[in-house]
């Protein structure tokens, strides 16, 4: 060994079943997930499944008992003792909803994808926003992680929604 520190290993499976046109690249997804996992013990395993609205709505109904699609669903995996597993869980992200929200909120598509991957991974790690103190702590952590990736504060008010360009 030459004494260099080996980078943490994240086994990331990406399933793209959405028909959406503008999806993040595998390296972009890995970069965002890895940033959210900084400080964790590796190796770790994570699945990101990119879906359309029908699958998101079905999962949201079946697991959260809520109607309609949602932007990101987190399914943490906790192995029963004494089993040890590097799997932290699955994220399911609804691509059409991410695109619509980005436009409505005046955010770039890349920045919104980054935010939702970071947000989802933090849920897998046990963070939540069910009460005000937890929400503030989670949002502060999201801001810090996204800033480290050179993305703007996802909770800052946006000047105006990004309007689609008019066709001549």
Task: Report pLDDT digits (tens) over 102-146.
Answer: 999 999 999 999 999 999 999 999 999 888 988 899 999 999 999
- In the chain, % of residues over pLDDT 70: 89
Residue 134: per-residue pLDDT: 87
Residue 160: per-residue pLDDT: 55
Residue 159: per-residue pLDDT: 61
Asked if residue 164 is part of any domain, the answer here is no
Asked if residue 16 is part of any domain, the answer here is yes
Asked if residue 168 is part of any domain, the answer here is no
Asked if residue 50 is part of any domain, the answer here is yes
Average pLDDT over residues 56-72: 97
HEC sequence for the chain = CCCCCCCCCEEEEEEECCCCCCCCCHHHHHHHHHHHCCCCCCCEEEEEEEECHHHHHHHHHHHHCCCCCCCEEEEECCCCCCCCCCEEEEEEEEHHHHHHHHHHHCCCHHHHHHHHHHHHHHHHCCCCCCCHHHHHHHHHHHHHHHHHCCCCCCCCCCCCCCCCCCCC
Residue 42 — pLDDT band, cuts 50, 70, 90? confident
Asked if residue 33 is part of any domain, the answer here is yes
Domain of 122, in residue numbers: 10-148
Number of domains the chain contains: 1
């Amino acid at each position: 060994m030459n004494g260099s520190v080996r980078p943490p290993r994240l086994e990331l499976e990406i399933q793209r079943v959405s028909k959406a046109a503008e999806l993040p690249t595998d390296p972009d997804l890995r970069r965002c997930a890895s940033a959210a996992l900084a400080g964790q013990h590796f190796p770790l395993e994570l699945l990101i499944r990119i879906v359309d609205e029908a699958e998101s709505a079905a999962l949201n109904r079946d697991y959260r008992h809520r109607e309609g699609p949602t932007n990101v669903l987190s399914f943490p995996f906790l192995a029963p003792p004494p089993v040890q597993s590097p799997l932290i869980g699955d994220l399911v992200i609804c691509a059409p909803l991410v695109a619509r929200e980005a436009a409505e909120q005046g955010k770039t598509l890349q920045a919104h994808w980054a935010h939702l991957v970071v947000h989802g991974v933090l849920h897998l790690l046990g963070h939540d926003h069910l009460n005000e103190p937890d929400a503030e702590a989670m949002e502060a952590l999201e801001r810090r992680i996204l800033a480290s990736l050179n993305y703007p504060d996802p909770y800052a008010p946006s000047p105006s929604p990004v309007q689609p360009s008019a066709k001549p």
